[in-house]
Every structure is written in structure tokens, then in C-alpha cells.
Amino acid sequence: MRATAADEFCIKYVLGVLCGRRRILLDTASPPAKPTTPCRQLCILRMVGLAFSGPAPGLFACGFHLWVLLERRKSPRFRSGILSISVATNLGLLGAFKYFDFFSISFQRCLVAMGVDVSLPVLDIVLPVGISFYTFQTLSYTIDVYRGKLRATDQLLEFMLFVSFFPQLVAGPIERASHLLPQILRRRKVTWQMVATGSQLALVGFFKKIVIADGLAGSVNFVYGSGQVSGLSVVLATYAFAFQIYCDFSGYTDIARGISRMMGFDICENFRLPYFATNPSEFWQRWHISLSTWLRDYLYIPLGGNRGGRFATPRNLALTMLIGGLWHGASIHFVAWGAYQGFLLMVFRMFSRDSSTIADRVPRRGPLFWVKVVAYFQLTCYGWLIFRAKGMTTVRDLTLSILDIGNYRWEAIGLANCYKLCILVVPLVVFQVYQYYKNEMEPWSRWPMLMQAIFYFVLFYLIVLFGAPQQSAFIYFQF
């Protein structure tokens, strides 16, 4: 039986409390905290990480001694060889589990189209949970050790905990070893303030997932699964999916960050009001920040970045986003989504003289700014149409429905999506405007105690009363 989002949250919440503190003092004061003894907590976290992930992360730790040698040996040739072996092993495991069948079937179809009748093997194996995330984590560790930016740890069990850290294991954020591993190795202090704010953040994430994301899921699934709907219904369903995937993914991130904070860990922020972006470069500084910075540091910049001439930058952007799309899934529509995002970035770079600071030059307030936000949101939503569709045939059909103005008519499913957007999304957008002008992602933590109590009371009962009756797994679990 698949665990629902509620089950995941409850399990993680209880484990967070058990691993964070054995006793929570119900007062507003922050008592002096002594460093926690890490041995018992780390043992619990290792076991929980294996329970959530299975043995797969252990395969990615098989090169542990290679990383130690990578730091100790100074010969450039030897170090390059170790790096090549480690990267090939990680990508080979990811490719075998996730992409072998995709490329085998695609190659077979190409041969059949050329008149060659051949049957190629497929593995048809179960994809390990979170494999894309912890593969990138181990790759970043390898490359940072090779570059001399990080010292290789000689603590195998602690390193395995870094790879299989359960709050962010299955859907990120993609943590860097330089950020998370030192927190695992050192003694931590867990205060009442950390437990309180962690619980608050997890509750907000749970609300995003259960009430908003799951509330929008049913109508979105119907439109994208039927193919017999009007253009207006497709537009409204695409808007709904934009907020479904945002609340689903950022909700998981909030839960992961909240649970981690309750245990004394700080994991990176992954979303910062992405739909307030006015251009593609800014969007990727606000959406899935851990992935976009990973692609920038370990792929785009090594390819040459924005160096090398007028045509090198678009090429590097295109390759980076194509790989970013393929990272999301072994399907042609994910590659197309990556190509679309790369195209937007290339056009933006070609028409902006100083792309590194253009977002700072755009007025961040006033009617013109909000017009730009709404305009770029339309481009983002078409990308989500490509992302959500089950194949390029569906992308073509839905696109034609949108372009057929004569096919715009009100339908029951369109009315349902319009109603849900008004009830679920409009209050979220209003609150995010408040966050934007406050420049604070957790503004509730600074409210007076009475306002905080009312806010959490309302959130709790909204979850109980209006949580979607049919909950779905987190979208990014499949990646």
C-alpha cells in the first residue's frame, strides 16, 4: 500500500521530535541547550534513512575509499583517473536504473523506422526512490573533493547518512556535502525555538500539499487525461497545474526543512516565490534552487558558461537545460520541456546586454512590474503543459486546443477549475504578495504570539476540514 502525504508527514514529524529532543518544554522561553550527543541520534537517522530508501544509496557509497584516495594522492593523473571512475560509477548506476529502458526502446524505434526489425533488451526494474537526488549529491561531493573545495571524510557511516538523510532523500533539496556533512559530523544544539519554527514550517508545507496541491489534482488529471475538452478548460487546468506542482514540491521542501530543523539540521531553501519572476534567468534563481545551482556549478560553468563567444553561451545553456529536463524523467516530453526552458534562456541572453544584473534593473514594484510577472507566468505555464503531458502527441493536441479560439467555451470541468483557482490559489497569491513585500519567506515567525496561534489554528482546521479526500503521492517522488 502506498503511503499518502499525510502518512509521510506524520512519520517524519514523530521521528523529527524523537531525534530532535526527548522532551519539549511548552513555554516561550528558550532554555539553554547543551550539545546533543550525536551517536544515538545518528544511529536512528541511519536506520530511518535505510527504511525510507532501501539499500540503493549504499551502492553510491561503494566508492568511499576512492574519495579518500582522491584527497590524499597528489598526482594529477591519478586524481583524474579516480574522478573518472567515480563519476562513471554514479552515472552508470543512474543510467542503468532510470534511462536504460528509455534509450533501448528509443533506439529500437529508430531502427524499425529505418526498416531494421530488431528486438533490444529492456531491464524493466523498479526505480529506487530518490535516485536522481542522491546521485547528484554524491557527484557534487566527488567533484568538490577533486577541486580541493572540500576535504574527504573518513567516516563511512556519517557519509552514508549524508547520502540517505531521510527528510530530503526522496524529493530534495539536493544538498551539498560542504553544507550538510559538517552538520552531521559536529555536535548540534537543538533549542525550543528550532523545534517550534520547524513544526510551523512543516505545518505550512503540509497545508500546501494536502489542501492546495491535492485539491487541484483531480481536475488537472481529468483534463490532461481526457483530451476531449475546450481550449478554455486546458488553459484553466494548466494554471491549476502550475500551482499544484508548486505547492506539491515546495510543500515537501517545507516539510523536509521543518523536520530537519527540529533535529538541529539546516537544509537549503529551494523555492523563493518563483512565479514572481519576470524572466527565465530570475525564474531559475527562484525555482528548484538546489537543482539550478547544481547544474550551473557542475555542468554549465565547466562547459564554458558565458565565456567563449556569442554562440558558445546559447550552446551551453541548451545542453545544460536538456540534461536538466532528462534528469526529471526518461521521457521525450521531459527532454522537450528542458529544450523549451533552454530556448527561453537563450532568447533572454541574446536580448539582454547584462543578464547577470538585468533582474536588479527591473522595478520591483508598481503596475509595470506586475504586468511583467503575469506575462512571464504565461510562458512558464506553457512549459508546465509540456511537463505535465504524457507525450508529445498530447502536447500537440492541447496546444491546438489552446490556439483554437473558436473552441473556447465553458464546461463543467472548466467551471470546477475556475472555482478551485479562486478558492485555493487566490488566497495563496495574496499571501505571497505579502511575503514578497516583507521580503521574508517565514513572516509568521515574527508575528505576535496571539496572531501565530490563530494562524496555526486556522491552518490545522483547514487541513482537517478541506484536505483532499483522495491524496496523491508527491509529484517529485517519481524522479
Grid cell of 137 as nine digits: 549529491
Grid cell of 96 as nine digits: 542503468
State yes or no: is 328 an active-site residue.
yes
- The set of residues, in sequence order, having a beta carbon less than 8 Å from that of 119 and lying 6+ positions away, is 108
Chain-centre distance of CA 146, in angstroms? 26
Provide the 3-class DSSP secondary structure of residue 352.
coil
Do the Cβ atoms of 200 and 258 come closer than 8 Å? yes
**Helix, strand and coil in the chain, % to nearest 5:** 70, 0, 30
Number of separate helices (H) and strands (E) present in the chain: 23, 0
Do the Cβ atoms of 296 and 345 come closer than 8 Å? no
- The set of residues, in sequence order, having a beta carbon less than 8 Å from that of 61 and lying 6+ positions away, is 138, 156, 159, 160, 163
List the end-to-end C-alpha distance of the chain, in Å, as a whole number: 20
* Maximum separation of any 2 CA atoms in the chain, in Å: 76
Report cis status (omega within 30 of 0) of the bond before 469.
Answer: no
Nearest to 46 by CA among 201, 207, 166: 166
Q: Which residue has the cell 539536493?
A: 174
Chain-centre distance of CA 52, in angstroms? 18
CA–CA distance from 35 to each of 25, 166, 187 (Å)?
17, 22, 6
Provide the 3-class DSSP secondary structure of residue 298.
helix
Which residue among 65, 179, 288, 328 is the active-site one? 328
DSSP 284: T
Nearest-10 crossing angle of helices 156-163, 38-53 = 50
Distance from C-alpha of 465 to C-alpha of 189, rounded to nearest angstrom: 36
Do the Cβ atoms of 279 and 361 come closer than 8 Å? no
Distance from C-alpha of 300 to C-alpha of 297, rounded to nearest angstrom: 6
Across 64-123, the runs of DSSP E, i.e. the strands, are: none
Long-range contacts of 98-105 (CB under 8 A, 24+ apart): 98/127, 98/131, 98/132, 98/330, 99/326, 99/330, 101/330, 102/330, 102/331, 103/330
DSSP 61: T
Grid cell of 9 as nine digits: 508527514
Which residues are known to be catalytic? 328
